[in-house]
Chains A and B, each alone.
Chain A
């Protein structure tokens, strides 16, 4: 058998998923013996032209991280779909939208405005707003435009597998790599690089089981007992509604689970499942008491949907998917056709 062709791509991401692959360390040498990395912008020097020159289906497996936020992201997603036999949505951004998709709550124009003009750490007295085309003496510069919505990879092209995590834990990454190398990938459509059940299954903390709290704390407001269940101490922990796979990493650092491994098997909407679990965990014996407890949950939307907003019912309620790929109003200049290739 010849060597496998592997590709890794980052769309709108923080780079953490690439680091998770680098974190394989010596395993990378094992990987290099059986596979050629034919494209990996974060680590190698191949260009888009190199990918375009490949035959369709020339890449055996592409690990695609990052959400789809710009024209460029979408273009490369389609390109890599065409060139890859197996396309993997790698990491939370690509799988369910992750942190970038929280900007869909207010919309991309708001986010752009906020980032360019209102952000306290931004100095922009001339009110410069990035445009898709800009004329310079040396020629015209082109920037990929921002789309109306941050989307998951599967909302743009068909995806074969999903690997959750922000970022995926390197041990899980190696499990995925091993499955690829040994040609032991399960039937298409499933999750890779996870363990059974939820984070609570891996959490070593003691759960009393009957304690309900009367208020919630944000992590900086309290020093939690490292041995007891965080929810029973009033800290919003997403563990009960989050797929196992990380080995309860954050919890071991005395921080609550944020939910980056996505919903448990069979659960469609992670935020709704978490909401139900949180409501069960507090005590309120009257409307007034309930309001009191709820007032201690700062930003319920961002808390329950921190990683899965783009893939949620609420996202569907908020915006029309047909508009999702259009260029946002702040940058629309009527030249969409021209730039899209």
Chain B
């Protein structure tokens, strides 16, 4: 039960005075945002409508202390769909800014920088879609150096920095290199010979799939069910997390093709992750072509918010293309 004497009516004004928060009270709680939101797939407790509604009611402490306000990644899928044209991620940002001032922090874990390895090369600060990494000059092991530092209140844990770091200094527990490599090779999948090596009936495909590019739980379940000796699926936090070294390593082992599935142009959950993913694959394709290796062995495919059950077709296409374009070593 909400007691009216516990409400802080001034909170509405406080949010609206914050840049981005101006449109808080235009929300009429229709729930279109919640219906669109991808975060709900992984955390059903997240509901942008509810957060805006609570803020509108003046439940100041409840809103500021909740973990949910940190989950919006500003993918803005809800923005064009909102009938009141509220830029919800901006309202969310306004609420966060107040929370930061009040001393609240988003829940971890966050990417960690190994300061002994970090060169301060600025690759991660450029890669980050949220400008959540700064370079700071500090004393490390008695030596003044410039190293990367993650700003927790801005980080969305997409893992793009982990993939970008050229010296392995950036690490995020749940999607570390080690974690991904162990998922790729679990059960000895990578060690089995591929079709092109003359060891399998059909081309074996390794698929890196962005967790946001598949839009319903049922679809995920079905896709998971497709995993077999011929198909290994490794889900990524974002297609921008894909590591070119892992793709190449897989191809030198038992994978005949590597498929990377990411969000459609403009629909990336992390703003620019899909562009990073497709750029990496595009460059790999170019290099394979230069080498005279069929470029059909790597592919970036997009799965849009309106696409359903596209994945099986993508795999099938890749299998056919590999069979058509590459001579088999007997």
Q: Give me the interface of A with B, judged by CB distance under 8 Å.
A: 105-106, 196-201, 207-212, 229, 231-232, 239-241, 244, 264-269, 271-282, 284-287, 290-291, 293-294, 297, 299-302, 304, 312-314, 316-318
Contact = CB atoms under 8 A, between A and B. Distances in A.
Interface stretch (B102-110, B204-212, B287-295, B315-323): B287-295
A240 B265 contact: no
B199 interface: no
A75 to B, nearest CB: 29
A212 to B, nearest CB: 6
Interface in B142-180: 145, 160, 163-168
Given A286-B265, A314-B291, A274 B282 contact: no
A282 B275 CA distance: 10
Contacts of B123: 240, 276-277, 280-281
A313 B163 contact: no
B18 interface: no
Contacts of B125: 209-210
B166 A290 contact: no
Contact of A300 (B116, B167, B278, B286): B286
B217 to A, nearest CB: 29
A313 B145 contact: no
A209 B290 contact: no
Contacts, number: 162
Interface residues of B, number: 48
Contacts of A290: 275, 278-279, 282
A232 B135 CA distance: 15
Contacts of A274: 166
B167 A264 contact: yes
Interface in B241-258: 243-245, 248-249, 251-252
B45 to A, nearest CB: 33
Contact of A197 (B117, B122, B276): B117
B275 A285 contact: yes
B139 interface: no
A105 B291 contact: yes
Given A201-B119, A240-B123, 15 more contacts: A196-B116, A212-B126, A240-B166, A275-B283, A276-B280, A279-B280, A285-B275, A286-B275, A290-B278, A294-B286, A301-B286, A302-B290, A313-B245, A317-B248, A317-B252
Contact of A266 (B145, B167, B291): B167
Given A294-B279, A313-B252, A317-B251, A267 B166 contact: yes
